[in-house]
Protein backbone atom coordinates (compact mmCIF):
# COMPACT_ATOMS: atom_id res chain seq x y z
CA UNK A 1 0.00 0.00 0.00
CA UNK A 2 1.23 3.48 -0.88
CA UNK A 3 1.22 6.19 1.77
CA UNK A 4 0.35 8.81 -0.86
CA UNK A 5 -0.58 8.31 -4.49
CA UNK A 6 -1.90 11.02 -6.79
CA UNK A 7 -3.10 10.85 -10.39
CA UNK A 8 -3.32 14.02 -12.48
CA UNK A 9 -4.15 16.03 -9.36
CA UNK A 10 -5.18 19.51 -10.49
CA UNK A 11 -6.57 22.63 -8.84
CA UNK A 12 -7.69 25.85 -10.51
CA UNK A 13 -8.99 28.91 -8.68
CA UNK A 14 -11.38 30.33 -11.26
CA UNK A 15 -9.05 30.30 -14.30
CA UNK A 16 -5.80 30.58 -12.37
CA UNK A 17 -3.79 27.38 -12.00
CA UNK A 18 -2.58 26.40 -8.54
CA UNK A 19 -1.35 22.90 -9.45
CA UNK A 20 -1.83 20.79 -12.57
CA UNK A 21 -1.18 17.17 -13.43
CA UNK A 22 0.58 16.31 -10.17
CA UNK A 23 1.54 12.64 -10.07
CA UNK A 24 3.25 11.53 -6.86
CA UNK A 25 3.90 8.23 -5.14
CA UNK A 26 5.16 8.06 -1.56
CA UNK A 27 5.95 4.65 -0.12
CA UNK A 28 4.95 3.60 3.38
CA UNK A 29 7.79 4.20 5.83
CA UNK A 30 9.44 6.75 3.55
CA UNK A 31 10.69 10.19 4.53
CA UNK A 32 9.73 12.11 1.42
CA UNK A 33 10.73 15.69 0.64
CA UNK A 34 8.53 18.12 -1.29
CA UNK A 35 10.54 21.08 -2.57
CA UNK A 36 9.54 24.37 -4.08
CA UNK A 37 9.62 28.13 -3.50
CA UNK A 38 6.69 29.99 -1.97
CA UNK A 39 3.71 29.86 -4.31
CA UNK A 40 4.88 26.76 -6.18
CA UNK A 41 1.88 24.67 -5.10
CA UNK A 42 3.18 22.77 -2.06
CA UNK A 43 0.47 23.84 0.40
CA UNK A 44 -2.27 23.46 -2.22
CA UNK A 45 -1.22 19.86 -2.83
CA UNK A 46 -1.33 19.13 0.91
CA UNK A 47 -4.74 20.76 1.34
CA UNK A 48 -6.09 18.60 -1.48
CA UNK A 49 -4.68 15.45 0.12
CA UNK A 50 -6.40 16.34 3.39
CA UNK A 51 -9.67 17.27 1.63
CA UNK A 52 -9.57 20.85 2.91
CA UNK A 53 -10.21 21.91 -0.68
CA UNK A 54 -11.53 20.00 -3.69
CA UNK A 55 -9.61 19.12 -6.83
CA UNK A 56 -10.64 20.52 -10.21
CA UNK A 57 -9.72 17.14 -11.65
CA UNK A 58 -7.68 14.07 -10.84
CA UNK A 59 -7.68 11.79 -7.82
CA UNK A 60 -5.53 10.68 -4.92
CA UNK A 61 -5.33 8.17 -2.11
CA UNK A 62 -3.73 8.51 1.31
CA UNK A 63 -2.87 5.24 3.06
CA UNK A 64 -4.97 3.45 0.47
CA UNK A 65 -8.09 5.56 1.05
CA UNK A 66 -9.76 7.98 -1.33
CA UNK A 67 -9.09 11.58 -0.27
CA UNK A 68 -12.73 12.63 -0.79
CA UNK A 69 -14.83 9.55 -0.06
CA UNK A 70 -12.80 8.39 2.94
CA UNK A 71 -11.52 11.70 4.26
CA UNK A 72 -12.71 11.05 7.83
CA UNK A 73 -10.79 7.77 7.97
CA UNK A 74 -7.68 9.46 6.61
CA UNK A 75 -7.78 12.14 9.30
CA UNK A 76 -7.73 9.45 12.00
CA UNK A 77 -4.40 8.16 10.68
CA UNK A 78 -2.64 11.37 9.62
CA UNK A 79 -0.88 14.06 11.62
CA UNK A 80 -0.60 17.52 10.06
CA UNK A 81 1.52 20.55 10.92
CA UNK A 82 0.48 23.54 8.78
CA UNK A 83 2.83 26.31 7.71
CA UNK A 84 0.61 28.86 9.48
CA UNK A 85 -0.58 27.70 12.89
CA UNK A 86 -3.98 28.81 14.19
CA UNK A 87 -5.77 27.63 17.33
CA UNK A 88 -8.22 29.34 19.69
CA UNK A 89 -6.19 32.03 21.48
CA UNK A 90 -7.67 31.30 24.91
CA UNK A 91 -6.60 27.63 24.83
CA UNK A 92 -3.39 26.61 26.59
CA UNK A 93 -0.75 24.37 25.09
CA UNK A 94 -1.98 21.63 27.41
CA UNK A 95 -5.57 22.11 26.18
CA UNK A 96 -4.58 21.86 22.53
CA UNK A 97 -2.24 18.90 22.79
CA UNK A 98 -4.43 17.11 25.32
CA UNK A 99 -7.46 17.49 23.03
CA UNK A 100 -5.50 15.95 20.13
CA UNK A 101 -4.40 13.02 22.31
CA UNK A 102 -7.94 12.43 23.62
CA UNK A 103 -9.46 12.61 20.14
CA UNK A 104 -7.09 9.85 18.99
CA UNK A 105 -7.44 7.77 22.17
CA UNK A 106 -3.74 7.84 22.97
CA UNK A 107 -2.72 5.63 25.90
CA UNK A 108 -0.56 7.19 28.62
CA UNK A 109 -0.93 10.55 26.89
CA UNK A 110 0.13 12.59 29.93
CA UNK A 111 3.47 10.80 30.06
CA UNK A 112 4.09 11.50 26.37
CA UNK A 113 2.96 15.11 26.70
CA UNK A 114 5.38 15.68 29.59
CA UNK A 115 8.20 14.22 27.51
CA UNK A 116 7.40 16.53 24.59
CA UNK A 117 7.05 19.58 26.82
CA UNK A 118 10.58 18.98 28.07
CA UNK A 119 11.93 18.18 24.62
CA UNK A 120 10.53 21.32 23.00
CA UNK A 121 10.65 23.60 26.04
CA UNK A 122 6.89 24.23 26.05
CA UNK A 123 5.04 25.95 28.89
CA UNK A 124 1.84 23.84 29.02
CA UNK A 125 -0.12 26.53 30.86
CA UNK A 126 0.57 29.41 28.48
CA UNK A 127 -2.32 30.60 26.33
CA UNK A 128 -1.90 30.19 22.60
CA UNK A 129 -2.72 33.85 21.95
CA UNK A 130 0.21 34.93 24.12
CA UNK A 131 2.78 32.72 22.39
CA UNK A 132 5.52 33.72 19.97
CA UNK A 133 5.54 32.34 16.42
CA UNK A 134 8.13 29.72 17.39
CA UNK A 135 6.17 28.53 20.41
CA UNK A 136 2.97 28.30 18.37
CA UNK A 137 4.79 26.12 15.85
CA UNK A 138 6.15 23.89 18.63
CA UNK A 139 2.63 23.33 19.97
CA UNK A 140 1.42 22.35 16.48
CA UNK A 141 4.34 19.95 16.06
CA UNK A 142 3.64 18.23 19.37
CA UNK A 143 -0.09 18.09 18.61
CA UNK A 144 0.86 16.26 15.41
CA UNK A 145 3.35 13.90 17.04
CA UNK A 146 1.25 13.02 20.10
CA UNK A 147 -1.34 11.25 17.94
CA UNK A 148 1.26 8.71 16.74
CA UNK A 149 0.08 8.98 13.13
CA UNK A 150 0.87 6.50 10.39
CA UNK A 151 1.61 9.50 8.16
CA UNK A 152 2.90 12.86 9.37
CA UNK A 153 2.56 15.77 6.93
CA UNK A 154 4.75 18.77 7.72
CA UNK A 155 4.36 22.03 5.80
CA UNK A 156 7.41 24.26 6.41
CA UNK A 157 7.77 22.93 9.98
CA UNK A 158 10.93 24.81 10.97
CA UNK A 159 9.64 28.32 10.23
CA UNK A 160 10.02 30.19 13.51
CA UNK A 161 12.05 27.46 15.24
CA UNK A 162 15.52 28.17 16.58
CA UNK A 163 18.34 25.74 15.61
CA UNK A 164 18.10 23.76 18.85
CA UNK A 165 14.38 23.14 18.42
CA UNK A 166 14.95 22.21 14.77
CA UNK A 167 17.49 19.63 15.96
CA UNK A 168 15.01 18.16 18.45
CA UNK A 169 12.28 18.03 15.81
CA UNK A 170 14.34 16.13 13.27
CA UNK A 171 15.83 13.82 15.89
CA UNK A 172 12.35 12.81 17.04
CA UNK A 173 10.99 12.71 13.51
CA UNK A 174 13.73 10.40 12.23
CA UNK A 175 13.43 8.20 15.35
CA UNK A 176 9.75 7.62 14.71
CA UNK A 177 10.40 7.07 11.02
CA UNK A 178 13.15 4.50 11.60
CA UNK A 179 11.91 2.76 14.74
CA UNK A 180 8.15 2.92 14.33
CA UNK A 181 7.77 3.10 10.56
CA UNK A 182 6.02 6.46 10.48
CA UNK A 183 5.80 7.87 6.96
CA UNK A 184 6.79 11.53 6.78
CA UNK A 185 5.91 13.97 4.02
CA UNK A 186 8.15 17.01 4.49
CA UNK A 187 7.23 20.08 2.48
CA UNK A 188 9.92 22.73 2.64
CA UNK A 189 12.03 25.22 0.76
CA UNK A 190 14.92 24.51 3.16
CA UNK A 191 17.18 22.41 0.96
CA UNK A 192 19.52 21.39 3.79
CA UNK A 193 16.64 19.79 5.67
CA UNK A 194 15.49 17.84 2.64
CA UNK A 195 18.95 16.66 1.63
CA UNK A 196 19.93 15.59 5.14
CA UNK A 197 16.77 13.75 6.14
CA UNK A 198 14.75 12.68 3.09
CA UNK A 199 15.05 9.47 1.10
CA UNK A 200 13.51 10.95 -2.04
CA UNK A 201 12.32 14.40 -3.04
CA UNK A 202 10.01 15.89 -5.65
CA UNK A 203 10.47 19.40 -7.05
CA UNK A 204 7.36 21.43 -7.83
CA UNK A 205 7.47 24.61 -9.91
CA UNK A 206 4.50 26.74 -10.98
CA UNK A 207 2.15 23.95 -9.93
CA UNK A 208 3.85 21.14 -11.84
CA UNK A 209 6.25 18.39 -10.75
CA UNK A 210 9.47 19.05 -12.65
CA UNK A 211 11.88 16.51 -11.13
CA UNK A 212 12.12 13.57 -8.74
CA UNK A 213 15.42 12.75 -7.04
CA UNK A 214 16.63 9.73 -5.09
CA UNK A 215 18.57 11.24 -2.20
CA UNK A 216 19.11 8.11 -0.10
CA UNK A 217 21.13 6.47 -2.85
CA UNK A 218 22.81 9.75 -3.81
CA UNK A 219 21.42 9.56 -7.30
CA UNK A 220 21.07 13.29 -7.84
CA UNK A 221 21.46 13.53 -11.57
CA UNK A 222 24.29 15.53 -13.05
CA UNK A 223 27.57 17.15 -12.16
CA UNK A 224 28.54 20.66 -11.11
CA UNK A 225 31.40 22.17 -13.09
CA UNK A 226 33.29 25.16 -11.73
CA UNK A 227 35.91 26.82 -13.93
CA UNK A 228 38.12 29.83 -13.26
CA UNK A 229 40.43 31.79 -15.51
CA UNK A 230 40.22 33.98 -18.58
CA UNK A 231 38.39 33.54 -21.89
CA UNK A 232 36.35 30.72 -20.38
CA UNK A 233 34.53 28.41 -22.85
CA UNK A 234 31.09 28.97 -21.34
CA UNK A 235 29.33 29.16 -24.71
CA UNK A 236 30.91 25.88 -25.84
CA UNK A 237 29.80 24.17 -22.61
CA UNK A 238 26.24 25.46 -23.00
CA UNK A 239 26.18 24.24 -26.61
CA UNK A 240 27.25 20.82 -25.31
CA UNK A 241 24.27 20.74 -22.95
CA UNK A 242 25.50 22.42 -19.75
CA UNK A 243 23.31 24.89 -17.88
CA UNK A 244 24.67 28.05 -16.30
CA UNK A 245 24.19 28.48 -12.56
CA UNK A 246 26.32 31.59 -12.20
CA UNK A 247 29.04 33.45 -14.10
CA UNK A 248 31.41 36.28 -13.25
CA UNK A 249 34.19 37.90 -15.23
CA UNK A 250 36.72 35.22 -14.25
CA UNK A 251 34.61 32.22 -13.18
CA UNK A 252 31.61 30.13 -14.13
CA UNK A 253 29.50 27.52 -12.36
CA UNK A 254 27.43 25.16 -14.47
CA UNK A 255 25.53 21.87 -14.22
CA UNK A 256 25.77 19.05 -16.73
CA UNK A 257 23.43 16.04 -16.85
CA UNK A 258 25.02 14.09 -19.69
CA UNK A 259 28.12 11.92 -20.03
CA UNK A 260 30.95 14.02 -18.62
CA UNK A 261 33.29 12.63 -21.30
CA UNK A 262 31.45 14.88 -23.74
CA UNK A 263 32.67 18.08 -22.08
CA UNK A 264 36.17 17.01 -20.99
CA UNK A 265 37.79 18.18 -24.27
CA UNK A 266 36.19 21.61 -23.78
CA UNK A 267 37.53 21.76 -20.23
CA UNK A 268 41.06 21.45 -21.61
CA UNK A 269 40.91 25.01 -22.97
CA UNK A 270 44.03 27.13 -22.37
CA UNK A 271 42.07 29.89 -20.59
CA UNK A 272 41.00 27.60 -17.70
CA UNK A 273 43.35 27.99 -14.73
CA UNK A 274 41.32 26.07 -12.14
CA UNK A 275 38.69 23.37 -12.52
CA UNK A 276 36.45 21.20 -10.33
CA UNK A 277 33.75 18.65 -11.15
CA UNK A 278 31.57 17.51 -8.27
CA UNK A 279 28.29 15.66 -7.78
CA UNK A 280 25.23 17.85 -7.93
CA UNK A 281 23.50 18.66 -4.64
CA UNK A 282 19.93 19.79 -4.04
CA UNK A 283 20.89 23.45 -4.02
CA UNK A 284 22.44 23.11 -7.48
CA UNK A 285 19.41 21.22 -8.73
CA UNK A 286 17.13 23.87 -7.25
CA UNK A 287 19.04 26.69 -8.92
CA UNK A 288 18.96 24.90 -12.27
CA UNK A 289 15.23 24.21 -12.11
CA UNK A 290 13.97 27.47 -10.63
CA UNK A 291 16.38 30.22 -11.54
CA UNK A 292 18.23 29.06 -14.61
CA UNK A 293 21.39 30.83 -13.57
CA UNK A 294 22.54 34.36 -12.90
CA UNK A 295 25.08 36.43 -14.73
CA UNK A 296 26.87 39.00 -12.64
Give SS3 for 66. strand
Enumerate the domain spans of the chain: 2-214, 223-295
By the 8 A CB rule, do 110 and 124 touch? no
By the 8 A CB rule, do 294 and 261 touch? no
Q: Which of 58, 35, 40, 60 is nearest to 50 (CA)?
A: 60
* Domain 2-214, architecture per CATH: 3-Layer(aba) Sandwich (3.40)
Cα separation, 80 vs 48, in Å, equals 13
Question: Is it the case that residue 13 has pLDDT exceeding 90?
Answer: yes
176-193 tens-digit pLDDT: 999 999 999 999 878 888
* Average predicted confidence (pLDDT) for the chain: 90
What residues are paired with 254 via a beta bridge? 225, 244
Cα separation, 28 vs 77, in Å, equals 13
Domains 2-214 and 223-295 agree in fold: no
By the 8 A CB rule, do 139 and 130 touch? no
E strands along the chain, which residues?
2-13, 16-22, 25-27, 31-35, 57-62, 65-66, 78-81, 151-155, 183-188, 200-205, 208-214, 223-229, 243-247, 251-256, 272-279, 294-295
At 44, phi and psi to the nearest 5? -60, -45
By the 8 A CB rule, do 184 and 193 touch? no
Cα separation, 87 vs 97, in Å, equals 11
* Domain 223-295, architecture per CATH: 2-Layer Sandwich (3.30)
Angstrom distances, CA of residue 287 to CA of 32, 205, 283: 20, 12, 6
List the single range of 74-78, 167-171, 188-192 with lowest mean pLDDT: 188-192
Question: Is it the case that residue 296 has pLDDT exceeding 50?
Answer: no
Q: Which of 34, 64, 214 is nearest to 150 (CA)?
A: 64
Give SS3 for 150. coil
Nearest-5° angle of CA 125, CA 126, CA 129? 145
14-60 tens-digit pLDDT: 889 999 999 999 999 999 999 988 889 999 999 999 999 999 999 99
88-102 tens-digit pLDDT: 999 999 999 999 999
By the 8 A CB rule, do 199 and 173 touch? no
What pTM was computed for the model? Answer: 0.77
Question: Is it the case that residue 286 has pLDDT exceeding 90?
Answer: no
Ramachandran region of residue 73, left (φ > 0), alpha (ψ -120 to 50) or beta? alpha
Question: Is it the case that residue 196 has pLDDT exceeding 90?
Answer: no
Amino acid sequence: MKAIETHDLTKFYHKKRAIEGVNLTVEEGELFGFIGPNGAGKSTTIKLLLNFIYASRGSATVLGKDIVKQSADIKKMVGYVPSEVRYYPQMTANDIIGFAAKFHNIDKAQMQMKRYYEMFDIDPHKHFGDMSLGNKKKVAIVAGLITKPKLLILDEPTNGLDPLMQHHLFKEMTRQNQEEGMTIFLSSHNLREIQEYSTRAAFIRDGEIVALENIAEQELSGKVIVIKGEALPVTELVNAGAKILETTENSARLTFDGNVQKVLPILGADGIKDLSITNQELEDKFMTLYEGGKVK
